[in-house]
Amino acid sequence: MKHFLILLFVLLLTPFSLFAQDEEEQESVMYESVMLTPDLSSLEQLQEAMQEHNRTFHNTAPHSAFVFNITSGPDAGKLTLVMGPMSSFSDLDNRPSSDEHNDHWINVVLPLIEDVGTVEYWTMDQELSNPIEGNYSMHFMRINTISRDYLFLIQGALEKISETVKAMEGDNPWILWWNAFQQGDLGRHFVVDWPMNSWGELDENNEFRSTFEEVHGKQAWDDWNSIMDLAVEDTYDEVWELNPAMSADLPQE
């Protein structure tokens, strides 16, 4: 696991306009995320209100809504409301917006929320990611800000990481999300998402470094670390845990 955490350090998401994917490639996968600060004195009521809202108005794709508890990092104690998967921004033009939906959100849910924070849109890098199908209850998220002075180093470093992950034995889900919009000093240019189902998975060892050296050569390991030290300006980790009671109906196994 220690080497895997080193791996997570590198997954970068530059602003969408810098390294946009070919529009003729496979259909995009995009999610909207909204950070919410709950009223801690009304969590039981919020759970009931959010469940009713999402299962009434956001129970089918591309507008399915799921809530995650942020359980570590600087935003621990907050919630992330995620909607998707969408295939394009056009799906937002058809998002639930009936009078019933808006009335329920404004008058039933929002009074139980202290603050509505950052709203972001994340597109999966389908070429570099290594998605493994499954219903995951947790996500190790590494949020990164890229140094503008060293953007030119990013693409090659990402390709090396992707090739290594895909060469490792076993199932190694690893998703690279690009932030669709620039946010000034806030950064958050990319997120690396490692889906999992238990905290114990963080204790597991893997063969990332040895596989990296087999694929790219031993000297490439030190070179890559030096590149990432330059290219990534800031990084921090979060663990997200799915809150089924606040979410839309979950897929069945």
With bands split at pLDDT 50, 70 and 90, how would you rate the model's confidence at 21? very low
The percent of residues above 70 in pLDDT, for the chain, comes to 89
Q: Average pLDDT, stretch 2-10?
A: 40
Does residue 161 sit in helix, strand or coil? helix
Say if residue 131's pLDDT is above 60: yes
| Residues in CB range of 188: below 8 A, 6 or more apart | 118, 120, 143, 144, 145, 179
pLDDT in tens, 190-211: 999 999 999 999 998 778 999 9
- Residues 6 or more apart whose Cβ sits within 8 Å of residue 233: 145, 146, 147, 187
3-state DSSP: the chain helix, strand, coil percent, rounded to 5? Answer: 40, 25, 35
For the chain, give the longest Cα–Cα distance. Answer: 61
Mean pLDDT of all residues belonging to the chain: 89
- The crossing angle, in degrees rounded to 10, of helices 208-216 and 154-167 is 110
- Residue 118's SS3 state is strand
Nearest to 139 by CA among 31, 44, 53: 31
Q: What pLDDT, in 10s, does the model give residues 81-95?
A: 999 999 999 999 999
What pLDDT was estimated at residue 8? 42
Give the separation between CA 220 and CA 244, rounded to whole angstroms: 43
pLDDT at position 237 over 60: yes
- Flag whether pLDDT at 135 surpasses 50: yes
8 A C-beta contact, residue 139 and residue 68: yes
Distance CA 7, CA 208 (A): 7
pLDDT band per the 50, 70, 90 thresholds, residue 104? very high
- The answer to whether the beta carbons of residues 220 and 213 sit under 8 Å apart is yes
Backbone φ and ψ for 200, nearest 5 degrees, come out as -60, -25
Ranges of each domain in the chain: 2-246
Environment class of residue 157 by beta-carbon count within 10 Å: exposed (0-12), middle (13-18) or buried (19+)? buried
CATH domain 2-246 topology: Alpha-Beta Plaits (3.30.70)
At 26 the pLDDT is 73
pLDDT of 148-200, one tens digit each? 999 999 888 888 989 999 999 999 999 999 999 998 889 999 999 999 999 99
| Sole residue written with tokens 């509505």 | 116
Q: What is the pLDDT of residues 37-68, one digit of tens each?
A: 999 999 999 999 999 999 999 999 999 999 99
Cis bond before residue 38 (omega within 30° of 0)? no
Q: What is the mean pLDDT of residues 3-22?
A: 37
Q: What is the value of pTM for the model shown?
A: 0.86
Burial 49-81 (b: 16+ CB within 10 A, else e): bbbebbeebbeeebbbbbbbbbeebebeebbbb
